[in-house]
Amino acid sequence: MANSRADNVIVFDMDSTLIQIECIDEIAALTGAGAQVAAITERAMRGELDFEQSLRERVACLKGVSVNEFEKIFNPLPLTAGAELLISTLQQAGWRTVLVSGGFEWFAERVAAALKLDEYYANVLVTQAMTLTGDVGEPVVDANYKAMQVSRLKQQAAHVVAVGDGANDIAMLEAADLGVAFCAKPALRRVADICIEQPDLSLLLPELKKLGLIS
């Protein structure tokens, strides 16, 4: 779809937004590192680590995991209820659809293909011989990176909507024309324009109709 100022754009987080799971937790559960990863996540939630620090520490716990194990997590694809209906409806109305995730590219690529998204951005898990090295590629997709992508898209579009669930999405929602908190943490709900409390993304459609963004 051609870029023009006539386009509307919707930008999604992935984990616990477009899909029902947190991929890093699922990978850790496969390897027995679940408790270790959960402890690092808890430290991040208490503000002891920023997103990049916590991401690097958690990914280090996954060293030695085979990429082939990821198929167990994504079979079947754990799409959130209403995701396909929301996205197909917006695409038919001429919207561009974008995924920007602090999760991982292997998973983002498959979600983007399944939903026919226009663009996707996510963190790269460094591998050697199809095995995780415990490192994350550059650049790290963090809150600032997400907001930067939204700001870039605003230069190309008439209206940008951003949808996320966690504190790492605050800057992205604030940068958008319309910020949507989906089954979200309190910190994100506080900055959102719309809060969807039920785990069904299609509930965003009537909200967009009320605002005249779709017919």
Residues acting as catalytic residues:
13, 15
Cα–Cα distances in angstroms (integers) from residue 106 to residues 110, 117, 136, in the given order: 7, 15, 13
Is 18:99 a contact under the CB 8 Å cutoff?
Answer: yes
**The Cα angle at residue 82 between residues 145 and 22, in degrees rounded to 5:** 45
Is 155:167 a contact under the CB 8 Å cutoff?
Answer: no
Cα–Cα distances in angstroms (integers) from residue 131 to residues 6, 68, 81, in the given order: 44, 9, 32
